Amino acid sequence: MLNIVLFGPPGAGKGTQSERLIEKYNLVHLSTGDIFRANIKMESELGVLAKSYMDQGLLVPDSVTIEMLRSEVSKKQEALGFIFDGFPRTNAQAAALDEVLLTFKTSITMMAALEVEEEELKRRLLNRATTSGRADDGDISIIENRISVYNKETAPVKMFYQNQKLIFHHHQRYFYSEHFLQKYSPHLLSYFI
Ligand code: AMP
C-alpha cells in the first residue's frame, strides 16, 4: 500500500496536493476536516462536538478524532492506499495512526511536509473564505489561532516522522532530498505541484 501523510499548516495546500495524488495512484482520501464538516452538516452528535472546537480554531480532542479515523480506515479494507490530509495533528494521533495501519499490515510510506510562510497562509485562507464559505477561513483571529495551534501542537509531529526518515519537505518549489530520490521514484515526487 502507498500511504501518504499530507502535513502542513492551514492554507498550505494539502487539499490541492491530495487531488493529483489520488487521481494518479487511486488512493482513498481521508481528510479529518472534511469528515468533521460532513458531520456538522448532518447535525450528528460528533458534528456538534467538533463544531465547538473548530469555530474557535482549536483541535478536536484526540480521543474523538482518533476513534473517527479508526472507523473510517476500517471501512476501506480494499484500499490500495490512503492519503491522510490533516491527520495526524498531534503525536498521540501519529502513534495511533501507526497502530491502525499495523492492523492492515502496512505503514506510512512518506510524510510530505508542505511549508508556506505565515503571511501567505493568511492571505490564502482569507481568499479561500470567499468560495469555501468556511467560518474558520474568514475571520483573522480564528486563522491566527489555527496557525498558532499548528505551531504549538502539530509542527512537533514532524519529529515523529523525521526520526523514521519519512519526511519529504516541499517548500513551494520541489526539494528532493537524496534520501527520497533513492527511496521513492522521482515519478511519485513529480506529482507534488
Ligand atoms: P482542516 O479542514 O484540516 O483545516 O481542519 C479544520 C478544523 O477541523 C481544524 O481547525 C480542527 O478544529 C479540526 N480538525 C481537523 N483535523 C483534525 C485533527 N486531526 N485533530 C484535531 N482536530 C482536527
At 49-84, the pLDDT tens digits run 999 999 999 999 999 999 999 999 999 988 999 999
- The enclosing domain of 151 has a CATH number of 3.40.50.300
Mean pLDDT, residues 34-55 taken together: 96
- Ligand 1 pocket at CB < 6 A: 10, 32-33, 36, 53-54, 57-60, 65, 86-87, 89, 93, 136, 146
Question: Residue 178: which pLDDT band, with cuts at 50, 70 and 90?
Answer: very low
pLDDT at residue 11 in the model: 93
Alpha-carbon span 75 to 156, nearest angstrom: 29
Rg (C-alpha) for the chain, rounded Å, is 16
188 within some domain: no
Alpha-carbon span 175 to 35, nearest angstrom: 31
For residue 17, the enclosing domain spans 2-174
128 included as an active-site residue: yes
Among residues 146, 152, 158, 165, the one annotated as catalytic is 146
User: Domain total for the chain?
Assistant: 1
Give me the phi and psi of 91, to 5 degrees please. Answer: -65, -35
128 within some domain: yes
pLDDT at residue 86 in the model: 96
Among residues 51, 70, 122, 134, the one annotated as catalytic is 134
191 within some domain: no
Alpha-carbon span 44 to 193, nearest angstrom: 36
Alpha-carbon span 4 to 181, nearest angstrom: 16
184 within some domain: no
